[in-house]
A = this chain, B = another copy of it.
Amino acid sequence: MNLRELAAHLGLSQTTVSRALNGYPDVAEATRRQVMDAARQFNYRPNPAARRLATGRAGTVAILFPVERNLLVDPHFFELLAGLADMIARTEMELSLRATPPDQELDNYRRLVNAGRVDGFVLSSPTLQDPRIPELAALGAPFVVHGRTEVALPYAYLDIDNEDAFARATALLLDLGHVDIALLNGDPALGFAVDRERGFRAALAERGLAPFEGRVRNAPMTEETGYRSARALLERPERPTAILASSVLLALGVYRAARDLGLAIGRDVSVIAHDDALPYLKAETFDPPLATTLSPIRHAGYRLGEMLIDRIAGVDPQNLQEILTCDLVFRASVAPLRGEDGPRRGPTSAASRSRTKDDPRSSDRRPAR
C-alpha cells in the first residue's frame, strides 16, 4: 500500500493525503481524520527511501566505533548501544552501526554527512580535545556526546558528574581513616578519566593531602590491567589501604590481585569502583560486595537517543546539556582503616569473608611471602 493507492482509495490527491499525514496545518480536520483512519486501517507506511529522496533527510542516526583487528572494544560501548537502539526503535528512525578503522574515522563522518546518509550522530568516549566535535560542528551535522571535552563549542552532551562522584568516594574513604588511596583510572586521553582524577585530587586537597607517589595509574579498563596495577601497588610493604577503580572490570582484577597477595578486600584494602551497570557483571555479587559510584550506562544511551532526536529537530545544543549525579553505593568492600595495632603490612588468609561470622581466624595470619 503506497501513497497513490491510499489517495485513490480515499478519492483525494496524493498531496492532500501526504499533508494530512505529516501534520500540515492547511488541511480540513474532517479530511485529516479520514486520512488517518484509512492509513491505520491499511497499515500504510511511507517508503523511507522515497521520503529520503524527496526530503534529503536520511531518517538515520549512526554511531561509529573504531576497530582494529582483534582490538578491544569497550563493553561499555555496547551497553550504551543497547540503550540507544532501544530508544531509536521507538521512533521512525533507524540506527546504523558503523565500524571504522581508527585512522579513517573523521573521513567517515565527513562522508556520511556530505552524502546525506546520516542525520545525526552519537559520539562516545570523547577525548579531551576531541577532533570529531569541531569537525561535525563545522559540517553542520547534529550530534550528541556521551561525556564532555574541553572543546570551546556549545555542543549537546550527556555526562555523569565524574568529578563529584570520585570526590565523594574519596571523601568517604578519608572519613573512614584512609590516607594512602590509589586511583586506577582509564586512558588519560579520555575526558572522564581526567574528571575522575580531578575529583580524587580535590577531595584529598580539601584535607590538605595529595596522592602518594605512584598512586595514580592509567590503563585500559580490563580485568587484566586492573590486576597488574593492583598487584604492583599492593605487593610492596608501603601499600595503599584503599583503591578507587574506574570500572567494575578493573575492580575484578583488583580483587584477584588482593587474593593473590593474601589480602582481604574490605579489611586489608578498601575498594570502590565506578559501576556502569553492566548487566552480566554485578558489583553486588562481588565477594565481598563491591562499593560503587553507580550510573547505569544503558540509561545514558537511551537518553542520548532522545536528545539526538531533539537536536535533529532543531533544539539548541545549549538546551541539551545534562549532567547526571552518581549514586554512591556503600558495600562491604569498604571498611574503616585498621588501627596501628592491626597488621598494617602482614597479608592474611584470603578466606576472610567468613570472619564476620564464626571464624575470625586471627591466628591464621601468615608472614608476607
A interface secondary structure, majority: mixed
Give the residue of B67, B70, B224, B353 whose beta carbon is less than 8 angstroms from that of A260. B353
Tell me if A82 counts as interface (CB < 8 A to partner B): yes
A125 to B160, CA, bound (A): 34
Bound form: Cα–Cα A350–B347 in Å: 14
Q: Is the CB of A67 within 8 A of B86?
A: yes
| A8 CB-CB contact with B under 8 Å | no
Contact of A85 among B85, B97, B111 (CB under 8 A): B97
How many residues of chain A have a CB within 8 Å of chain B?
A: 59
A355 CB-CB contact with B under 8 Å: no
Task: Tell me the complex Cα distance, A97–B49, Å.
Answer: 18
A94 interface contact, C-beta 8 A: yes
> Which residues of A70-102 have CB atoms within 8 Å of chain B's CB atoms?
70-75, 78, 81-82, 85-86, 88-89, 94-100
- Nearest B residue (CB) for A364: B366
A256 interface hit (Cβ, 8 Å): yes
Taken together as a complex, chains A and B put the C-alpha atoms of A256 and B94 apart, in Å, by 42
Q: How far is the CA of A211 from the CA of B71 in the complex (A)?
A: 39
Residues on B with beta carbons closer than 8 Å to the beta carbon of A259: 259, 287, 350-351
Ordered nearest first, which 7 A-B pairs have the shortest CB separation?
A: A78-B78, A49-B52, A85-B99, A89-B99, A72-B279, A86-B99, A49-B53
